[in-house]
């Protein structure tokens, strides 16, 4: 058996590949970006072949940078942008349309029509989700309805639907395998959480033929082996899969009930482990499957803010207020506060706990004295406030304090943002030494699935804290800031 585990973290703007040894040490990384496609306002697509090229390029970069040979890889894990939707031909593997990205709002009207028809409670009860264009099911139906002949071909079994994990496994195995794991399947609007199988009634309501769906599997088991890869030999097991946020929860060693994390990427995604129970939220959160390992399913409550790091990119690319994303921390720190400017990051609507697709981004409180530094500070405040809303809703659903919040993702390196998060939340923020926890989670799952590691305790023992951020404002001041924030949200 090889020495290393290779993890593919396929994200919204690029792909990261991480290679770990058996001591859980990161030995190599590779990264490749790929372009975003915006056909219309509110629509977001990816070229599936560009996704695949980013994966193969990142694998090559990781291997080349370390001198590790493909024959030394013992197992492969996959984590992915979850709700992004692809449909391809089973015989050729050729996509019939661009991937429709999780951020895309083109099916909002379809979700609204299902809601107006009274189906929202059924979907919430069976899937733990809200009827929103965020999820995969209506995206699949849109492709089948807008590509000539696609629906008939899907019903004949000629086409395959998958989230990105399915697509990558299919490509890695030379088209031999069409599977997904339970964590990704739970993000489609089509999976019954209780049975963990596709629900025929929900598929019928959304308009997705059962023949197009992948097989649902656990999160740490062998799905297939590599075949016809340029940089990897045939026969390497693909042995672990989870959606990116569930993988980050696993990579943060949040194995106990009440353990929580927030990942700061394009959006911000907070999850708290609820163990083997699947509570339904009363405060606008989602119930999702965290993972299934060794036949035991763990669930989580999740809150998603659609815009986090993307707001910083917008300051750079859209407004030109900064030249690089890394500049925002120093610029925002050059003023003591935002000067009472409030930014609502609803650039793609508002996610949990508000679920307002009609909301739009806004700055409030601008005066003649407002500077670009105040805008930068307000953007960081806005990210911290929206995450605080998610964690407050989780606390209310669980009826208990959550304790310290573990953080990861690119923006967690911003010390000012993490301090603002601690202040907005009124709780400690803990950052690990390795912030690539999404890829680490995929590697850990693959290592468990391939028998390289034997237990979650072994993984938890290797988790290391880098820095802890503690609240620095009084509760009265925190309440005042949050009141201003909520007033702005109500007007966005």
Mind spelling out the 3-state secondary structure of the chain? CCCEEEEEEECCCEEEEEEECCCCCEEEEEEEECCCECCCCCCCEECHHHHHHHHHHHHHHHHHHHCCCHHHEEEEEEEECCCCEEEEECCCCCECCCEECCCCCCCHHHHHHHHHCCCHHHHHHHHCCCCCCCCCHHHHHHHHHHCCCHHHHHHCCCEEEEEHHHHHHHHHCCCCCCEEEHHHHCCCCCEECCCCEECHHHHHHHCCCHHHCCEEECCCCCCEECCCCCCCCCCCEEEEEEEHHHHHHHHCCCCCCCCEEEEECCCEEEEEEEECCCCCCCCCCEEEEEEEECCEEEEEEEEEECCCHHHHHHHHHCCCCCCCHHHHHHHHHCCCCCCCCEEECCECEECCCCCECCCCCEEECCCCCCCHHHHHHHHHHHHHHHHHHHHHHHHHHHCCCCCCEEEECHHHHCHHHHHHHHHHHCCCEEEECCCCHHHHHHHHHHHHHCCCCCCHHHHHCCCCEEEEECCCCCHHHHHHHHHHHHHHHHHC
pLDDT band at residue 188, thresholds of 50, 70 and 90?
Answer: very high
Task: Give pTM, 2 decimals.
Answer: 0.88
- pLDDT reported for residue 42: 86
- pLDDT reported for residue 1: 62
Assigned domain for 163 exists: yes
Predicted confidence (pLDDT) at residue 356 exceeds the cutoff of 90:
no
- Determine which of 18-32, 179-193, 236-250, 454-468 has the lowest per-residue pLDDT on average: 454-468
User: How many folded domains does the chain comprise?
Assistant: 1
CATH of the domain at 44: 3.30.420.40
Assigned domain for 151 exists: yes
Identify which has the larger pLDDT, 265 or 56: 56
- pLDDT reported for residue 227: 95
- pLDDT reported for residue 221: 95
Instruction: Compute the chain's Rg from CA coordinates.
Output: 21
- pLDDT, tens digit, for every residue of 46-63? 999 999 999 999 999 999
Predicted confidence (pLDDT) at residue 429 exceeds the cutoff of 90:
yes
- pLDDT reported for residue 305: 87
Assigned domain for 249 exists: no
Helical packing angle, 372-398 and 309-317, nearest 10° = 160
Q: What percent of the chain has pLDDT over 70?
A: 100
The residue length of the chain stands at 492
Assigned domain for 370 exists: no
Assigned domain for 359 exists: no
Assigned domain for 33 exists: yes
Average confidence (pLDDT) over 98-115:
94
Average confidence (pLDDT) over 181-189:
97
Assigned domain for 174 exists: yes
| pLDDT, the chain, mean | 93
Predicted confidence (pLDDT) at residue 401 exceeds the cutoff of 80:
no
Range of the domain at 224: 4-244
pLDDT band at residue 19, thresholds of 50, 70 and 90?
Answer: very high
- pLDDT, tens digit, for every residue of 278-291? 888 888 899 999 99
Assigned domain for 320 exists: no
Predicted confidence (pLDDT) at residue 355 exceeds the cutoff of 90:
no
């Amino acid at each position: 058996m090889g020495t290393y585990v290779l993890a593919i973290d396929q994200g919204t703007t690029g792909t990261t590949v991480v290679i770990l040894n058996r001591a859980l040490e990161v030995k190599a990384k590779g990264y490749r970006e790929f372009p975003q496609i915006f056909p219309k306002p509110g629509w977001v697509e990816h070229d599936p072949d560009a996704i695949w090229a980013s994966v193969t390029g990142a694998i090559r970069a990781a291997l080349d940078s370390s001198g590790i040979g493909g024959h030394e890889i013992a197992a492969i894990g996959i984590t992915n942008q979850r709700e992004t939707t692809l449909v391809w031909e089973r015989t050729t593997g050729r996509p019939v349309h661009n991937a429709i990205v999780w951020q895309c709002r083109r099916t909002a009207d379809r979700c609204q029509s299902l809601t107006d028809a009274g189906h929202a409670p059924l979907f919430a009860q069976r899937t733990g989700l809200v009827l929103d264009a965020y999820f995969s099911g209506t995206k699949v139906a849109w492709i089948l309805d807008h590509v000539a002949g696609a629906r008939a071909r899907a019903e004949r079994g000629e086409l395959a639907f998958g989230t990105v994990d399915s697509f990558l496994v299919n490509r890695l195995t030379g088209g031999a395998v069409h599977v997904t794991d339970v964590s990704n399947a739970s993000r489609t609007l089509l999976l019954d959480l209780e049975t963990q199988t596709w629900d025929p009634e929900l598929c019928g309501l959304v308009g997705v033929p059962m023949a197009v769906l992948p097989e649902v599997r656990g999160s740490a088991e062998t799905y297939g082996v590599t075949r016809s890869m340029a940089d990897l030999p045939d026969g390497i097991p693909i042995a672990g899969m989870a959606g990116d946020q569930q993988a980050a929860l696993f990579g943060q060693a949040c194995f106990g009930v009440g353990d929580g994390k927030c990942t700061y990427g394009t959006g911000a995604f907070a999850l708290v482990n609820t163990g083997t129970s699947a509570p339904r939220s009363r405060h606008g959160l989602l119930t999702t499957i965290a993972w299934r390992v060794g036949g035991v399913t763990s669930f989580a409550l999740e809150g998603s803010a659609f815009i986090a790091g993307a707001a910083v990119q917008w300051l750079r690319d859209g407004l030109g207020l900064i030249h690089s994303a890394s500049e925002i921390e120093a610029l925002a720190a050059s003023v003591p506060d935002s000067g009472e400017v409030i930014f609502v990051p609803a650039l793609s609507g508002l996610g949990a706990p508000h679920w307002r697709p009609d909301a739009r981004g806004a700055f409030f409180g601008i005066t003649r004295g407002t500077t670009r530094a105040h805008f930068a500070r307000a953007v960081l405040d806005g990210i911290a406030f929206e995450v605080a809303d998610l964690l407050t809703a989780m606390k209310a659903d669980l009826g208990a304090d959550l304790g310290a919040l573990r953080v990861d993702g690119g923006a967690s390196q911003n010390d000012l943002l993490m301090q603002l998060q601690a202040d907005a939340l009124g709780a400690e923020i803990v950052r690990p030494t390795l912030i690539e926890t999404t890829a680490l989670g995929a590697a850990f799952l693959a290592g468990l699935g391939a028998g390289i590691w034997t237990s979650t305790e072994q993984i938890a023992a290797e988790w290391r804290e880098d820095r802890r951020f503690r609240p620095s404002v009084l509760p009265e001041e925190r309440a005042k800031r949050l009141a201003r924030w909520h007033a702005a949200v109500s007007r966005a």
